[in-house]
Amino acid sequence: MSGSTLEIKDLHVEIDGKEILKGVNLTVKGGEFHAIMGPNGTGKSTLASAIMGHPKYEVTKGQILMDGEDVLEMEVDERAKAGLFLAMQYPSEISGVTTSDFLRSSINAHREEGDEIPLMKFIKEMDAAMDYLEMDKNMSQRYLNEGFSGGEKKRNEILQLMLLKPAIGILDEIDSGLDIDALKVVSKGINKLRNEAFGCLIITHYQRLLNYVKPDFVHVMMQGRVVKSGGPELVERLESEGYEWIKQELGIEDETVGK
């Protein structure tokens, strides 16, 4: 199976009447890993939320297409069904719903009625993925994200990714707050997903994660736009020189948006 294509064309997004995204263009295809880098406050999370249809984010111009289908016309659950998945910067805690039940419902929400995943098959897959991510099995019986450490929450996002197998995964600062061991495990999980049917948008502030998960394409966001794109060599340059040279090159004084 070949992958899907997510196309973002001239995307403009407002929050509370203030324009945050000012014309983002980006195409992610199955098999490709794209990194979106950039300082804080440049619109990276806004892009992720807009793709997933967060109600606070109003698209005022441009298009988001998934295999040519208009994503902006889809409800949030339809976007997930179309193969989009967002691992959030700050995953929500859901009291009263166990991690295991949440995962099984999510998988079944992607399947037709009457074709639910058999319980034993689900448990086998979940156990295998949890082993791979070096997670404590008891976690599956705990309420979703409740009392989870930062590292546990992020592993849990990758666990969802591994079980749901979306066509396009968007990972927003999956590396934030992780110690080096957790970072390696999370990276191992992302790398395991690399195949022709999976495209990934990795949003990160730091190059650290990208030492473990090698992107094919790298984009830098400033002022609510992608201002620079390149290959993995861009990560090295940002690591050694920071973001200042891009600002100078483009004559940007303040890289943030929405102030």
Contacting residues toward Mg ion, per CB under 5 A: 44-45
Binding of residue 169 to ligand ADP (CB under 6 A): no
CB under 6 A: which stretch of 36-44, 71-79, 178-186, 188-196 binds ligand ADP? Answer: 36-44
| 147 phi, psi to nearest 5 deg | 70, 5
**Distance separating alpha carbons of residues 142 and 124, to the nearest angstrom:** 18
Q: Of 129, 143, 145, 200, nearest to 169 (Cα)? A: 200
CB of 34 to ligand ADP, least distance (A): 15
Cβ partners under 8 Å of residue 72, min gap 6: 59, 63, 64
Of 40 and 63, which CB lies nearer to ligand ADP in the complex structure? Answer: 40
Of 38 and 91, which CB lies nearer to ligand ADP in the complex structure? Answer: 38
Q: Which of 38, 53, 169, 199 binds ligand ADP (CB under 6 A)?
A: 38
**Distance separating alpha carbons of residues 152 and 178, to the nearest angstrom:** 9
Of 24 and 159, which CB lies nearer to ligand ADP in the complex structure? Answer: 24
| Residue 42 interacting partner from ligand ADP, Mg ion, none (CB closer than 5 to 8 Å by kind) | ligand ADP
CB atoms within 10 A of CB 121: 10
Cβ partners under 8 Å of residue 156, min gap 6: 91, 99, 135, 139, 144, 145, 148
Query: What are 147's two structure tokens?
Result: 């009392």
* Of residues 229-258, those binding ligand ADP (CB under 6 A): 257-258
Query: What are 61's two structure tokens?
Result: 């111009």
Binding of residue 12 to ligand ADP (CB under 6 A): no
Binding of residue 40 to ligand ADP (CB under 6 A): yes
Of 24 and 139, which CB lies nearer to ligand ADP in the complex structure? Answer: 24
Binding-site ranges for ligand ADP (CB under 6 A): 15-16, 20, 38, 40-46, 56, 257-258
